[in-house]
């Protein structure tokens, strides 16, 4: 075995104090296999060592929360014995190096986190961030990531029902690929990862182990440099067909009474799955690595333990030949590898054998639980000045609207979601393109609504407000389809936490998120942290992506954003001050990314959400859309473009505000409703009772959007909005 | 009507089509595993969509050689109606039960969206509840749906009413712009010579319920029930 030199220690990513801690835990020098195990267990990706202290402050409980953070995914109770299992996870670094496989295995990994718990995956979502469209790598990355997500999700037969995609130069060297899976389980048949029962067999099943992905978790915890392309061999390769078999085999096995505990092999493969299961159960494991199904000959213990080959699972079975025979028969049916690789012990140690010799003997809890926890220094970001709308250049609202709808962030993402099967499983009630996707619970009248949200430019401008806004927008998007917001998963993407400014973004945005979650009764039930998203010292915009899940008791009552009828009233819910700081108008029209972002008034947010949900439940709303990026005029135009007939809208702007501020201000807590005249009086009355501003701002009709004496055809907006992304991606073909 | 749905490893529209069949016929279809070799007496066999055996080879090529397909072929030859949707269509062409082949989409990408189709032959057990030339809306979701047959075969198919559906505009014009994948003459679905086997790329089972955005697909399952009960 190789000698443990300072170079070997450094190449495993250890700082001197961390290595000293290893020596203290073991009371001796580790061998290479053991050092490798320490390195992946203590990587930022697996240990959350920089963020743990702050993550603990997030609210995670509510009467409907069955399982909060700490397991493979979070679980909420949606009544009738049904539970929803969900989580979002990043695959940023692998996707930048090899976009197709990086994104594909990201989808595979998050699916496994969910079905490991006994849930059938019913929907996938994603939140993607790419660099500036003009950057030479952007098109290649978009094409590869989208094909990878589709290639994997389409084959496993889980619909990809929505997501968000942004472009900004800060992601030029670090794209973000955050994938979310939502699954449906029976409340009384949920599976956890805590091992139990000394002597019980530890079973490996799924794909064979190869040399791919070794040290993926440590790669995901380091900054990139110009040599990052050399890390390509650490990217895993996905096999969605095997994943599909694994889903069916797991669910079939879970219907029998044979499993004690189960865990997928995600980041850090066999190491983290076995350590986590043993640690949660307070037990030890003895494993014979010779029994691990291997793809190639001559693999060392180090390689077997650190491989990140995909589509693999580890479980503890009930004792006795009967359980083993039952499990093996199911794996044989689905043609998956199955091997008893060890058993549980009372020692609290992980003992690994290879070729009859002990190759590692490590205490479990000190590795799994005593990973370093840092209180890294941080500085609060400087507050930016509030921008006065009167100081901002005013341009023709019709022209500005057309420009905004064709900008990369607002342009239609149809080119992307048409490459995803969003209808398989036959329960997609609201497809991609709306505020939230709506997926019916199979065979029932209820549904879940799902959204992913964050506005990174707000978080950069003010991490605290931006953190609050991300949660509030998820709350709003769910309310806009009529769903009661239940819980969120978070995917915190930031730069290098060793820099106090970046650590300040992390601390402040988590504080904002936590406050919003508490005030909106919208707890965090699962999450993932991705740090070191920096290339050559340039950090991404802070991007704490929120995946929100809501419940619709009666799916038939959900509404979409498309205008339905001529001559109905357009009602704006919420208050408009014309906030242009950190807005898209400022960035896309005026070329400035300055100013404080719009503040979120959480009590008003909550009241407005309750109002909108009640109106939708009472069937007084024909269409509903939240007001977010681009402001009011963009929201109205999106409602018009979504209608099959391209129904227009005539708007009356108030004289109290500059027109461009009214049209494009990004004030929070607002919705646009389409309401029949016969329902208008009761809608306004209901708003009054909810102490929420509501005002009629115009009428639907015709085929133009008009405001302030200017007008633009909906068809023309539609062409601009639909045209940008296909034109951008099409150029890729002619360019080569 | 007695119906069976064939389940391959990697099938993923098996449940969806079973739901649509049950809604039309009032009973659950039989789900048949790929390793089975015998089928009971049946009126219709459905080969569903998905990625049979992963489709890492040419789509449907592996499934065409599976144990159950020998039995499906025997049943089809004896007159049992066979419906292949999406991957099922690919499997039926690979098995020789339907003429032609399905190639990569012209744009080389997976496409999932609603398309309009014109019913080209409504006088079959699959389509009797549609009107001739009726325009219907079904979704597509495939990367290999670009239909091709050689000129001689195609001519005889046309002469024999074997073109089942063509991609068209919402007004029923089978124009180039309405062709999502480059299929020969906008062909979306075809029959065998006896009109007892139908294969199509679009998914009738996905729009067979208004809540999901439309129910044009339901008439296909209703047609089978009416014809075969």
Residue A428 has its nearest CB partner, among B51, B111, B212, at B212
CA distance A111 to A114: 5
Phi-psi region of B76 (alpha: psi -120 to 50; beta: other; left: phi over 0): alpha
A646 neighbourhood in chain B, CB within 8 Å: none
How many domains does chain B contain in total?
Answer: 1
Q: Can you give the pLDDT at residue A367?
A: 86
Going by the DSSP 8-state scheme, the letter that residue A126 receives in this structure is E
* Nearest C-alpha in B relative to A560: B213
B111 contact residues in A (CB cutoff 8 A): 418-419
Instruction: Give the tokens for residue A605.
Output: 């947010």
How much is the average pLDDT of A61-83?
Answer: 96
Question: What per-residue confidence (pLDDT) applies to A369?
Answer: 79
Cβ(A284)–Cβ(A367) below 8 Å: no
Q: Is the pLDDT of residue A40 over 70?
A: yes
- Contact at CB, A421 and B112, closer than 8 angstroms: yes
Phi/psi zone of residue A268: left (φ > 0), alpha (ψ -120 to 50 degrees), beta? Answer: left
Tell me, what's the pLDDT at A735? 34
Burial track A181-193 (b if 16+ CB lie within 10 A, e otherwise): bbbbbeeeebbbb
Chain B residues with CB-CB distance to A under 8 A? Answer: 9-10, 12-13, 15-16, 19-20, 49-51, 53-56, 109-113, 139, 141, 143, 203, 205-206, 209, 211-213
Looking at residue A43, what is its pLDDT? 78
Residue A175 lies in a domain: no
Q: Which of A354, A370, A386 is the last residue of a domain?
A: A370
Contacts of A138 (CB under 8 A, 6+ apart): A130, A131, A132, A167, A172
Give the model confidence (pLDDT) of A490-532 as tens digits.
999 999 999 999 999 999 999 999 999 999 999 999 999 999 9
Domain count of the fold of chain A: 2
Residues of A with CB under 8 A from a CB of B: 147, 150-151, 154-157, 239-242, 244-245, 334-335, 417-429, 431, 440, 555-556
* Interface confidence (ipTM) of the complex: 0.97
pLDDT in tens, A166-205: 999 999 999 999 999 999 999 999 999 999 999 999 999 9
Token pair 């995670």 is found at A60
pLDDT tens sequence across A316-339: 999 999 999 999 999 999 999 999
Give CA angle at B154 (B148, B159), nearest 5°: 150
Judge whether A257 lies within some domain: yes
DSSP string computed for A631-692? -HHHHHHHHHHHSTT---EEE---TTS-HHHHHH---SS-EEEEE-HHHHHHHHHHHHHTT-
- Tell me the DSSP string of A510-524: HHHHHHHHHHTT--E
C-alpha A440/C-alpha A476 separation (Å) is 20
How close, in Å, is residue B193 to chain A by CA atoms? 31
Given an 8 Å threshold on Cβ–Cβ distance, is A241 in contact with B9? yes
Determine contact, residues A561/A624, Cβ cutoff 8 Å: yes
CB contact under 8 A, B203 and A425: no
Residue A534 has pLDDT above 80, yes or no: yes
pLDDT at A217: 54
* Segments forming the whole domain that contains residue B94: 3-228
Band of pLDDT at residue A218, cut at 50, 70 and 90: low
Q: What is the pLDDT of residues A452-477, one digit of tens each?
A: 999 999 999 999 999 999 999 999 99
The pLDDT of residue A734 is 38
- A232-241, A558-567, B46-55, B161-170, range with the lowest pLDDT: A232-241
Tell me the chain A residues in contact with residue B19 when contact means C-beta distances shorter than 8 Å. Answer: 426
Question: At which residue do the structure tokens 């992963």 appear?
Answer: B54
| Active site residues per annotation of B | 86, 203, 205
High-pLDDT (> 70) share of chain A, %:
96
With beta carbons under 8 A apart, name residues in chain B contacting A151: 110
Residue A95 lies in a domain: no
Give me chain A's average pLDDT, please: 94
Contacts of B201 in chain A (CB under 8 A): none
- List, as one string, the DSSP characters of A441-508: PTTSS-EEEEEEE--HHHHHH-HHHHHHHHHHHHHHHHHHTTPEEEEEEEEEE-S-TTSHHHHHHHHH
Task: Decide if pLDDT at A347 tops 60.
Answer: yes
Residues A534, A224 contacting (CB under 8 angstroms): yes
Among A121, A370, A87, A387, which residue's Cα sits nearest to residue A244? A121
Q: DSSP letter string over A242-294?
A: HHHHHHHHHHHHHTSS-EEEEEE--TTHHHHHHHHHHHHHT-EEEEEGGGS-B
Of B13, B51, B212, the CB nearest to A155: B51
Return the residue in B22, B56, B110 with the most chain A beta carbons within 10 A, the one to mutate for interface testing. B110
**Residues in chain B closer than 8 A to A422 (CB atoms):** 112
Residue A340 is predicted with a pLDDT of: 98
Domain carrying residue A604:
559-729
Cα gap A203→A89, rounded to integer Å: 26
Rg (CA), chain B: 16
Distance set, CA A462 to CA A107, A339, A381, A601 (Å): 31, 52, 7, 15
Interface contacts (A, B; CB < 8 Å): 82
* Average pLDDT of span B34-57: 97
- Residue A132, pLDDT score: 97
Does A543 reside within a domain?
A: no
Q: What is the pLDDT of residue A684?
A: 98
pLDDT at A732: 45
pLDDT at A4: 86
Please check if A493 is assigned to a binding site: no
Is the distance from CB of A615 to CB of A607 less than 8 angstroms?
no
A414-437 residue pLDDT tens? 999 999 999 999 999 999 999 999
Supply the pLDDT for residue A227.
60
Considering only CB atoms, A429 lies closest to which of B9, B110, B212, namely: B212
Share of chain A above pLDDT 90, in %: 88
Domain end point (choices A338, A370, A402): A370
Which tokens belong to A655? 């004289």
At residue A223, the pLDDT reads 65
In this predicted structure, what is the pLDDT of residue A733? 42
Q: Which site among B5, B8, B10, B116 would you substitute to test the A interface, given the most A Cβ atoms closer than 10 Å to its Cβ?
A: B10
Give the domain CATH number at B185.
3.40.50.880
CA A623 to chain centre: 27
Tell me the per-residue pLDDT of A684-731, one tens digit each, with 9 for 90 and over.
999 999 999 999 999 999 999 999 999 999 999 999 999 999 999 986
- Between these two residues, B124 and A268, which has the higher pLDDT value? B124
Residue A89 marked as a ligand binder? yes
Ramachandran class of A127: left when φ > 0, alpha when ψ lies in -120 to 50, beta otherwise: beta
- Residue A3: pLDDT band by 50, 70, 90 thresholds? confident
**Final residue before a domain boundary, out of A310, A344, A370:** A370
CATH number at residue A246: 3.90.650.10
Within a domain: residue A596?
yes
């Amino acid at each position: 075995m190789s000698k443990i030199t300072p170079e070997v220690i450094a190449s495993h990513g250890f700082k001197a104090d961390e290595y000293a801690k290893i020596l203290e835990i073991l009371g001796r020098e580790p061998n290479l296999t053991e050092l490798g195990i320490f390195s992946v267990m203590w990587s930022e990706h697996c240990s959350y060592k920089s963020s743990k202290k702050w993550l603990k402050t997030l609210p995670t409980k509510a009467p409907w929360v069955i399982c909060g953070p700490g397991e493979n995914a979070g679980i909420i109770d949606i009544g009738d014995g049904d539970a929803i299992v969900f989580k979002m996870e990043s695959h940023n670094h692998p996707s930048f190096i090899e976009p197709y496989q990086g994104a594909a295995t990201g989808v595979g990994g998050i699916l496994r986190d969910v079905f490991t718990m006994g849930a059938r995956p019913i929907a996938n979502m994603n939140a993607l961030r790419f660099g500036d469209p003009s950057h030479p790598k952007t098109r290649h990355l978009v094409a590869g990531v989208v094909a990878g997500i589709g290639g994997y999700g389409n084959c496993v037969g889980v619909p990809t029902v929505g997501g968000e995609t942004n472009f900004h130069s800060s992601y030029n060297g670090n794209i973000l690929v955050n994938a979310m899976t939502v699954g449906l389980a029976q409340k009384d048949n949920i599976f956890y990862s805590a091992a139990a029962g000394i002597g019980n067999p530890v079973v490996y099943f799924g794909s064979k182990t190869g040399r791919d992905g070794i040290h993926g978790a440590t790669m995901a915890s380091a900054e990139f440099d110009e040599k990052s392309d050399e890390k390509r061999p650490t990217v895993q390769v996905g096999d969605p067909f095997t994943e599909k078999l694994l889903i069916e085999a797991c669910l079939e096995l879970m219907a029998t009474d044979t499993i004690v505990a189960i865990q997928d092999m995600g980041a850090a493969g066999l190491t983290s799955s076995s350590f986590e299961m043993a640690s949660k159960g307070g037990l030890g494991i003895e494993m014979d690595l010779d029994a691990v199904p291997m793809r190639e000959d001559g693999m060392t213990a180090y390689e077997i333990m650190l491989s990140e080959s995909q589509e693999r699972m580890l479980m503890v079975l009930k004792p006795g030949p009967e359980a083993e025979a039952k499990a093996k028969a199911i794996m044989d049916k689905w043609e998956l590898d199955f091997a008893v690789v060890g058993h549980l012990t009372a020692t609290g140690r992980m003992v690994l054998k290879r070729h009859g010799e002990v190759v590692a003997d490590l205490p479990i809890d000190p590795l799994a639980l005593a990973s370093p926890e840092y209180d890294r220094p941080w500085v609060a970001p400087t507050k930016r000045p509030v921008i006065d709308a009167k100081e901002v250049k005013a341009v023709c609202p019709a022209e500005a609207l057309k420009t905004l709808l064709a900008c990369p962030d607002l342009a239609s993402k149809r080119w992307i979601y048409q490459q995803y099967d969003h209808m398989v499983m036959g329960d997609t009630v609201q497809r991609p393109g709306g505020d939230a996707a709506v997926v019916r619970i199979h065979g029932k009248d209820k549904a879940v609504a799902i959204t992913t949200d964050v506005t990174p430019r707000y978080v950069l401008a003010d991490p605290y407000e931006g953190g609050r806004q991300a949660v509030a927008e998820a709350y709003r998007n769910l309310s806009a389809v009529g769903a009661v917001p239940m819980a969120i998963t978070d995917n915190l993407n930031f730069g290098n936490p060793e820099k106090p400014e970046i650590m300040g973004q992390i601390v402040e945005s988590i504080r904002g998120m936590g406050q919003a979650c508490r005030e909106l009764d919208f707890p965090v039930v699962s999450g993932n942290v991705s740090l070191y998203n920096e290339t050559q010292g340039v950090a991404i915009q802070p991007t704490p992506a929120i995946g929100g899940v809501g419940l619709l008791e009666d799916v038939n009552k959900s509404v979409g954003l498309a205008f339905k009828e001529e001559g109905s009233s357009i009602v704006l819910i919420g208050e408009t001050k014309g906030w242009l700081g950190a807005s898209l108008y400022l960035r896309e029209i005026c070329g400035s990314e300055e100013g404080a972002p719009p503040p979120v008034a959480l009590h008003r947010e909550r009241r407005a959400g309750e109002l909108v949900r009640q109106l939708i439940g009472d069937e007084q709303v024909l269409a509903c859309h939240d007001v977010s990026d681009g402001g009011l005029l963009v929201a109205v135009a999106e409602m018009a473009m979504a209608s099959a007939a391209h129904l227009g809208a005539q708007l009356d702007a108030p004289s109290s505000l500059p027109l461009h501020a009214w049209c494009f201000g990004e004030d929070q807590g607002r919705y646009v409703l389409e309401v029949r005249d016969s329902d208008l009086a009761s809608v306004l009355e209901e708003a009054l009772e909810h102490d929420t501003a509501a005002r009629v701002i115009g009428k639907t009709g015709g085929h133009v959007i008009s405001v302030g004496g200017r007008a633009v055809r909906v068809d023309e907006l539609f062409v601009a909005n639909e045209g940008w992304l296909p034109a951008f991606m099409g150029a890729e073909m002619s360019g080569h | 009507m007695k119906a069976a749905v064939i389940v391959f490893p990697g099938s993923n529209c098996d449940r969806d089509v079973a739901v649509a069949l049950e809604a039309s016929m009032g009973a659950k279809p039989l789900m048949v595993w790929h390793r089975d070799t015998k089928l009971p007496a049946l009126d219709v066999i459905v080969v569903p969509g998905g990625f049979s055996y992963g489709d890492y080879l040419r789509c449907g090529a592996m499934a065409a050689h599976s144990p159950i397909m020998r039995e499906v072929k025997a049943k089809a030859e004896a007159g049992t109606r066979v419906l292949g949707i999406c991957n099922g269509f690919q499997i039926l062409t690979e098995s020789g039960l339907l003429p032609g082949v399905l190639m990569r989409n012209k744009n080389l990408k997976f496409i999932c969206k609603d398309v309009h189709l014109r019913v080209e032959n409504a006088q079959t057990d699959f389509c009797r509840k549609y009107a001739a030339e009726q325009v219907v809306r079904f979704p597509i979701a495939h990367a290999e749906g670009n239909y091709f047959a050689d000129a001689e075969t195609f001519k005889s198919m046309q002469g024999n009413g074997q073109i089942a559906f063509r991609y068209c505009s919402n007004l029923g014009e089978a124009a180039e712009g309405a062709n999502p994948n480059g299929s020969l003459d906008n062909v979306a679905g075809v029959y065998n010579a006896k009109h007892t086997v139908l294969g199509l790329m679009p998914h009738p089972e996905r729009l067979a319920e208004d809540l999901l955005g439309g129910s044009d697909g339901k008439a296909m399952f209703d047609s089978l029930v009416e014809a075969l009960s």
